[in-house]
Amino acid sequence: MPYSPEDALTPMLAKAVATIPAADSVEGGLSYEPKWDGFRAIIYFDGETVEIGSRGSKMLTRYFPELVEAFVTLLPRPCVLDGEIVVRAGEPGHEKLDWETLSQRIHPAASRVAKLSVETPAMFVAFDLLAIDDDDYASRPFGERREALETLLAGTEHPVHLSQVTTDEATANRWLVEFEGAGLDGVVSKPLAAPYAPGKRVMLKTKHHRSADVVVIGYRMHTSGQGVGSLLLGLYTAEGELQGIGGASAFSNARRLELIDELAPYAERDADGEMVRGETDRSRFSGSKDVSFVRLRPELVVEVRYDQMEGSRFRHTVQFDRWRPDREARSCTFDQLDRPIAYDLSEVLV
């Protein structure tokens, strides 16, 4: 095999673009496919054993024993595949991807890993091919790699799937709208003539972008100890409860310092005039991380840009857009959020 787990391949990456590019905007044309919201994974199969590499240097093999077994059983030949590990949830006919359940699969206890592999089994969606036997496919054009991938996985059964593709721009734009209802993250555009480029942003990704007016309920200090690291955000429920929904960060050094002074008049203070601090819930990903924050009176409203929701929280850190002094904080409710139309995941999988 030309590639092995010891090589620790870095997957080819994608650059964000606002809209789906025209099919003829790149020499050789573009291929479009759904953007899966899971764990990026490189699968190394030597004909007997399997290793699962992550986007970074961490190996994921031990966390997905059910996939290891499936690869050994279902893959017809030694190969190296690029794709996404995902978990589905919901009743038949109403299934969608479940990021929260997937994230729980990364657990240090072997007993817990074994239990979850049965209760919330994962599946793998392949979308690129790097090698078959001793043949290196990474240097070949994507169009050729895709054709070989389809031949390799022809007839392969669940939980190994092949991502859909199209060269039709209109179909790709329809996918961008429809597939979000099944929990997908957007559309990826791949140059048909391009070789595989580990770590390079050769592909283009188009994600959903929306805006919302939210209440600033607190802030965390930057890890440097200087200025605001992130704003904590909330929305009001129909019952009038202010609920945390995520955060906004990525401020410049100068802006972080300015925010300290701007937010000081809104800080909650105790009888001694000291700022009141709170603490967000810890998770297994928090570790020893400082989760404390300065509480603010719920008076400031800010407009943010976000891509999607996971339950009642923003799926990713959102982008600060502008202050909204014209908005009353209590008018910022969950009702304003754009919810995608439900779409069954089984209609996306092939």
- pLDDT for the residue numbered 282: 45
Mean pLDDT value of segment 198-212: 88
* Rounded-to-10 torsion of CA 72, 75, 76, 78: -80
* CA pair distance 71, 156, nearest whole angstrom: 10
- Please list, in sequence order, all residues whose beta carbon lies within 8 angstroms of the beta carbon of residue 295, skipping any fewer than 6 positions away: 217, 218, 267, 268, 275, 276, 277, 278
The backbone torsions φ and ψ at residue 334, rounded to the nearest 5 degrees and listed phi first, read -65, -20
Confidence class of residue 8 from pLDDT cuts 50, 70 and 90? Answer: confident
Mean pLDDT value of segment 288-294: 72
Q: Reply yes or no on whether 200 is catalytic.
A: no
Hey, what domains does the chain have and what are their CATH numbers? Answer: 5-207 (3.30.470.30), 210-336 (2.40.50.140)
- Please tell me the pTM assigned to this model: 0.74
Question: Has residue 343 got a pLDDT over 80?
Answer: no
311 alpha-carbon distance from chain centroid: 14
Q: What is the DSSP string of 207-245?
A: ---EEEEEEEEEEEE-TTSSSEEEEEEEEE-TTS-EEEE
- pLDDT for the residue numbered 283: 47
Catalytic residue, from 15, 35, 96, 200: name it: 35
Mean pLDDT value of segment 16-36: 94
Confidence class of residue 284 from pLDDT cuts 50, 70 and 90? Answer: very low
Question: Has residue 290 got a pLDDT over 70?
Answer: no
Per residue in 42-60, pLDDT (tens digit) is 999 999 999 999 887 689 9
Per residue in 214-258, pLDDT (tens digit) is 999 999 999 888 899 999 999 999 899 999 999 998 889 999 999
Per residue in 155-197, pLDDT (tens digit) is 899 999 999 999 999 999 999 988 988 888 899 999 999 999 9
